[in-house]
Amino acid sequence: MLGIDPGLTRCGVGVVDVARDRSATLVHVGAVRSGSELPIGERLAVIAAGLRSVLAAHRPDVVAVERVFAQQNRATVMGTAQASGVALLLAAEHGLPAATHTPSEVKAAITGYGSADKLQVQTMVARVLRLDALPQPADAADALAIALCHAWRRGSATPGASGALTPAQRAWADAERAAARR
Distance (Å, rounded) from C-alpha 126 to C-alpha 175? 14
Q: Does 139 appear as a known binding residue?
A: yes
Q: Are 103 and 69 in contact (CB under 8 A)?
A: yes
Q: Which of 37, 42, 66, 93 is the catalytic position? A: 66
Is 132 a catalytic site residue?
A: no
Nearest to 4 by CA among 147, 132, 125, 138: 147
Residue 164 has φ and ψ, to the nearest 5°, of -80, 140
Instruction: Specify whether 17 is catalytic.
Output: no
Catalytic residue among 37, 42, 61, 139: 139
Question: Among 5, 105, 142, 176, which one carries the catalytic annotation?
Answer: 5
**Within a 10 A sphere around the Cβ of 167, how many other Cβ atoms?**
20
Does residue 66 carry a catalytic annotation?
yes
Q: Is 21 annotated as a binding residue?
A: no
Binding site: which residues? 5, 66, 139
Catalytic residues: 5, 66, 139
Binding site for Mg(2+): which residues? 5, 66, 139
